[in-house]
Amino acid sequence: MERIRPQRRVQIDQSQQPKYDAVEEDENGMRLRQSNSNVTDDQEPFMGVKVRRKASLHRDYKGDYIDVASHPFLIKLLQKQGDGHVLFADKVLKFTGSGKMKRRIVLITDVAIYILDPETDALKRRIGLAAVDKMCLSELSDNFFAIIIPREYDLLMASTRKTEIVTVLAEAIKDASDGELEVVFSNRFEYHAAADLVKEVQFEEVEGGVKTRIVRK
């Protein structure tokens, strides 16, 4: 397992949503096979470790992919929290403690991470940046990442804009506390799916993509 510091400018993926050939769930856990790896041997890795996709481009980030200003419930929520500086906003897939995948909106501001349900406009969770300990990613060309929050429980999500999320969080934490976000790359990592539930995410490179398996510990 290798730990390195995130850079301020990296490559990002421009595809729309993570796609999977199959999703299987059994008593041992969930298995997901991602379609079309889009990886070539001569690609530059993300932060010196992670394999990037052919669609990844070195360019400035957009940040707001859902047009926050056009969603009154988001504006009202941010005003209620006294938080109006949005650094990143997009839809992602979030994995619940029971192993289900849910579509969620992720907002990152200069003080917190917000997880919202786009169907009900409900705030599901607010996490202060000071509570974030580190992020975990594989070394392969998948869309998964975990945000580790020791005082609560962790977040496992998938996004084609994962690289941008890592970079935005690293910069926000540095600006807020002058600290450094630790980013851990490993093809096996653990996270707390709930306060008393630990799972392990396992990644394996296979023909045509990356197979991901989530199992209870």
Q: How many CB atoms lie within 10 A of CB 110?
A: 16
CATH code linked to domain 2-216 = 2.30.29.30
Threshold 0.85, pTM exceeds: no
- Helix%, strand%, coil% for the chain, nearest 5: 15, 45, 40
pLDDT for the residue numbered 51: 55
Element (H, E) at 214: strand 209-216
- Per-residue pLDDT of 45-71, as tens digits, reads 555 555 555 454 444 678 999 999 999
Give residue for tokens 């199959």: 22
- Per-residue pLDDT of 129-164, as tens digits, reads 999 999 999 999 899 999 999 999 999 999 999 999
Give the 3-state secondary structure of residue 112. Answer: strand
- Whether the predicted pLDDT of 35 surpasses 80: no
- Degrees, nearest 5: CA angle 21-26-29: 80
- Per-residue pLDDT of 65-77, as tens digits, reads 999 999 999 999 9
Report H helices in 20-133. Answer: 72-81
Structure tokens at 200: 């392990």
CA distances from 200 to 8, 151, 164, 194, 216 (A): 29, 19, 24, 13, 6
Q: Is the distance from CB of 39 to CB of 114 less than 8 angstroms? A: no
pLDDT for the residue numbered 13: 36
Confidence of residue 9 (pLDDT cuts 50, 70, 90): very low
- Mean pLDDT (whole number) for 35-51: 47
Give the 3-state secondary structure of residue 129. Answer: helix
Of all residues in the chain, what percent carry a pLDDT higher than 70? 72
Confidence of residue 208 (pLDDT cuts 50, 70, 90): confident
- Mean pLDDT (whole number) for 178-207: 95
- Whether the predicted pLDDT of 114 surpasses 90: yes
pLDDT for the residue numbered 47: 54
What single DSSP character describes residue 6? P
Confidence of residue 17 (pLDDT cuts 50, 70, 90): very low
Residue ranges per domain, the chain? Answer: 2-216
